[in-house]
Amino acid sequence: MPGSQSESDAMEQADEGRDPALNVVDRVAEMCFGLFMALTFVGAVSSATSAASPTSGADAGHTMLVTALGCNLAWGLVDAIMFLVRTLADRGMRFKVATAAREAPTATEAVRAIRTALSPSAQLLLSDAEIDMLRQRMANAVELPERAKLNARDLLGSIRIFFIVVLSTFPVALPFVLLSDVPTALIVSRILTLIMLFVGGMALGRHAGFNGWATGLGMTALGVVLTMAVIALGG
């Protein structure tokens, strides 16, 4: 049908508007995850190496960097893969709803199928007439993809997530390479971590419409609590 839009195109456009890899919340969350992971491992390795032997500053710094980087490489890979799994599952759910809406014997059953897939808040906001308009767009689509699948943008998103987690290692671990005194490097590492948490919290607050300074300080306070916990556990 000329001028109509395929369901696959509609699903891709919906993904473009969403793009979790570029979402501020997800980027800040991944950065904080990487920072916390690196901070925890650096603290644990610092405690273990200082208790086991009087390791030189250079050797200790190398150990810290390798350990933290290895940890975040592994978890960055896990996060990237789980992003693809989550994206495919979400797209599969929408594909299932689109198929059910197109194949429903009556418009009423199609509207019901679409409504069950909506979030509770969306169900309250949308009337049956508005959902029926969406059903008609689905019905007018020329074709439906054979199955839900990933695309190049999804792979790019997973790569971005991987690098966000991995790159967040360096502010935590690099002071141990640049400074020979391990206690001083620990202090610098924790200060840099808190600064990054403050910046991330400020960005998160502004994105959500809150006071950026308040959310930045709140995220910093969370980092302080975690740092105190790491120190209490021997890090």
Residue given tokens 């059910």 in the structure block:
100
Nearest to 32 by CA among 219, 209, 173: 219
pLDDT in tens, 59-115: 666 777 787 788 889 889 999 999 999 989 988 888 888 887 777 888 888 888 888
| Per-domain boundaries in the chain | 27-110+152-232
CA 157 to mean position of chain CA atoms: 10
Enter the pTM of the model.
Answer: 0.73
pLDDT, tens digit (0-9, with 9 covering 90-100), for 13-60: 445 444 445 578 888 888 888 888 787 777 666 665 555 555 455 566
3-state DSSP call for residue 188?
A: helix
Distance in angstroms (rounded) separating the CA atoms of residues 28 and 34: 10
Span 125-137, pLDDT tens digits: 888 888 888 888 7
By CB atoms closer than 10 A (0-12, 13-18, 19+), residue 103 is exposed
